[in-house]
Amino acid sequence: MTTFQRARSEDQRELRRQTILDTTAAMLDEVSVNTVTLNELSRRVGLAKSNVLRYFESREAILLELLDRAWKQWNADLPGLLDAALDAAAPPARRGEQLAAALTRTLADRRILCDLLSAQAGVLEHNVSPEVAARYKGAALANVGALAALARVHLPELGGYAEQLTGQMIMAIGAVWTHARPSAAMLAAYEDHPSLAAHRMDFAHSLQENLTTLVAGALARAGA
């Protein structure tokens, strides 16, 4: 735990904000979004909870900023990964399959991003002010736009459907992540009923199937 003196300069306040964000990110390496608490965060940062709330208006505001940071990093890492994974000479349908597979692989080690995406609408966009909500939504739309531009590099056939496709992809990532992490009760049910366990969702397999279907549908609509 770090103990801080009062932040007096703008640089000190920005350093304090970054420390709160970095500490929250470290917590997300250990626990899920739903179990991150301001009390534990305050303890780890070495600030009273009221002081943490001077920098961020709520727990959800901190997590929304972390989501934007993780999403931007993913977007920044994707160009080289997709260049290596997609065959520019392949027909559109094949490139679409390669895109879905490559995106799925890039998310396999990004648990924090997937966890935050799964919580954004149902949890993180609540308990924030209209100003924070608007700032996050603007950033999210920019992130979707950046992902759409990248998709068009490899699948120019998408045309104007790229933004719609990437927005649906983001929703699919969050939904599949949630369903692929069953509750303790559901895990016990799977243990007791093997016929149910056969339907347990694997994140990577299910996500790739979902993304492949979304890309194929977007290409079909763009072609029509």
- What separation in angstroms does the CA of 86 have from each of 78, 96, 117, 170? 12, 9, 25, 20
Residue after which a domain boundary falls, among 41, 56, 71: 56
76-84: average pLDDT: 96
User: Are residues 120 and 50 part of one domain?
Assistant: no
User: What's the pLDDT at 48?
Assistant: 93
At 100, which CATH number? 1.10.357.10
Chain centroid offset of residue 159 CA:
25
User: What's the pLDDT at 222?
Assistant: 95
User: Are residues 36 and 143 part of one domain?
Assistant: no
User: What's the pLDDT at 6?
Assistant: 58
User: Are residues 68 and 177 part of one domain?
Assistant: yes
Can you give the pTM of this predicted structure?
0.89
At 32, which CATH number? 1.10.10
- Taking only the tens place, the pLDDT of each residue in 135-176 is 999 999 999 999 999 999 999 999 999 999 999 999 999 999
17-38: average pLDDT: 94
- Taking only the tens place, the pLDDT of each residue in 165-220 is 999 999 999 999 999 999 899 999 999 998 998 888 899 999 999 999 999 999 99
User: What's the pLDDT at 107?
Assistant: 96
User: Are residues 39 and 95 part of one domain?
Assistant: no
User: Are residues 50 and 133 part of one domain?
Assistant: no
Residue 182's domain comprises: 59-223
**Considering the chain, what is the average pLDDT of its residues?**
93
Number of domain units in the chain: 2
User: Residues with Cβ < 8 Å from 200, sequence gap 6 or more?
Assistant: 182, 190
